[in-house]
Amino acid sequence: MATTTRKRTLDFKSKNYVNSESYKGNVFSRSAGLQSIVGRQETTSEGHQYSLLGKTDLDIGGDFYTFKKTYKDNCPKRFSHKWKTQPSSDFEYFYQGMLTPLYTNVSADSSLYPTVNKPSDSYLNAKGSTAIARCLPTNPVSGLANFLGELKRDGLPHVPGQETLKSKMKNPPKTGGSEYLNWEFALKPFFSDLQKFAKAVKNGDKIIAQYERDSGKGVRRRYEFPIVETNQEVSSSPGCYPGGGLNAYAFASPGVLRISSSTRTRTWFEGSFTYFLDSGSDYKSRANRALQIANKLYGVRITPELVWNLSPWSWAVDWVSNVGDLAHNVSAFQSDGLIMRYGYIMEETSATNTYALDVHLKSGATYNLEQSFTTVSKIRKRATPYGFGLSYDGFSVRQWAIIAALGLTRSWKQAS
């Protein structure tokens, strides 16, 4: 589907200014003009019905990207000031216009607005794949096959303190590191697996009943990544005067300009999944259904993911990448007729530069001025029925048959 880009200029603050000088009441110098602070919004989309996203199991959304540069301040809305260089002076100055920490004329391309880079496709595909792996409705409650495989490969974890007793404290740093690794990579996963098995056994009837009820339906899932925030003071500069036309003689003293920046990034996934429990009455169908249920409770299937997890170096790769999530998704979408009716990975980043300055006039008036320039970026990327970053040409006949059976063929092909 063709994309369109819409642009618009945002006028946040426009004001006419007057700057004049007079001698004994007679104006001999006068300048006037327009002060303005503007931003911009630019949106690229496919023109889908975004308002219906999440309200139906049909896929009606599409790829979307927008950025918006906005502005706000706490500066005086109507500022005018008269002053003399000396109380007995015959020269008088008058200013009417903006009073801000920095400039009073700011274009949409100004460097005062922070830069927010558009997320790459590879980054969004990785995030989307991880989110899918976390919230698939067919995910096993526990992992018996993986547990037994690791037990055979590595044996039981060491009892806490065993390494220390063996070494008799001959090398405390080394034994301390061994104890830590034993806890993080052996004992904690071991106890976690036991807790999951206990949950599967205790709540087995409820889990099975829900699993059967959801079969063939659209199961909506949402996954939120942890919000990432940063706040920092960029600089602090003394001896500064505010923007605008006020002469330095109007101030009792210069102020300190404080510049700070902050960012906030939120990433999340929304999707609707469908899977099918075997409903046949023959022996093969009943056996397959029993396997599906057993896998839901205990994770008993031998899959590409299991092979990957039992590789001795896979944990190191998963530490810095999401290969394990990809293996998980490949294994899941090959079973139970699992498919996504729709799936989107979305990210919103807001970055703000703030400029603050305390102003003290000779008249005794004090102003705590602050300007904030913000850039907000929002993006949404659409998944294929079997995950992110996949090619429609690579789908098997069986996968296309499931897509067609669910009536999703037209909407998915339109977006491809």
For each of the chain's 416 residues, which pLDDT tens digit applies? 567 889 999 999 999 999 898 988 898 889 899 999 999 999 998 766 655 555 555 666 788 899 999 999 999 888 998 888 777 888 888 999 999 998 889 999 999 999 999 999 999 999 999 999 999 999 998 877 777 767 766 666 555 555 555 555 554 544 555 656 555 556 677 777 778 878 878 888 999 999 999 999 999 999 999 999 999 998 889 989 998 778 888 888 899 999 999 999 999 999 999 999 998 888 898 999 999 998 888 888 887 777 777 776 565 666 567 788 888 888 889 888 899 999 999 999 999 999 999 999 988 889 999 999 999 999 999 998 888 988 767 677 677 677 676 666 545 454 44
Closest CA to 356 of 365, 366, 369, 374: 369
DSSP states along 113-153 = SPP-PPPPHHHHHHHHHHHHHHH-TT--SS-HHHHHHHHHH
Token digits for 412? 């998915």
CA distances from 38 to 52, 245, 332, 401 (A): 32, 19, 50, 52
Could you tell me which residues are beta bridge partners of residue 258?
Answer: 236, 356
Closest CA to 108 of 14, 8, 229: 8
pLDDT tens, residue by residue, 106-131: 999 999 999 999 999 999 999 999 99
CA distances from 197 to 201, 296, 309, 351, 392 (A): 6, 12, 18, 44, 38
pLDDT for the residue numbered 415:
47
Q: Please report how many Cα atoms fall inside a 13 Å half-sphere around the Cα of residue 266, on the Cβ side.
A: 6
Burial of 228 (0-12, 13-18, 19+ CB in 10 A): exposed
Q: Token match 């950025």: residue?
A: 67
The H-or-E segment that residue 104 falls in is none
Helix 283-298 vs helix 188-202: angle between axes, to the nearest 10 degrees?
130
pLDDT for the residue numbered 145:
73
pLDDT tens, residue by residue, 293-316: 988 888 888 877 777 777 765 656
Segments making up each domain of the chain, as ranges: 4-141+203-415
Closest CA to 381 of 63, 119, 123: 63
Phi-psi region of 323 (alpha: psi -120 to 50; beta: other; left: phi over 0): alpha
Q: How far apart are CA 145 and CA 151, in angstroms?
A: 10
Token digits for 95? 């200013």
Closest CA to 36 of 106, 110, 96: 106
Phi, psi of 119, deg, nearest 5: -60, 140
Phi, psi of 222, deg, nearest 5: -140, 140
Query: Taking the model in full, what pTM does it have?
Result: 0.81
Q: What is the length of the chain?
A: 416
Beta strands in 87-246 (DSSP E): 91-97, 219-224, 228-240
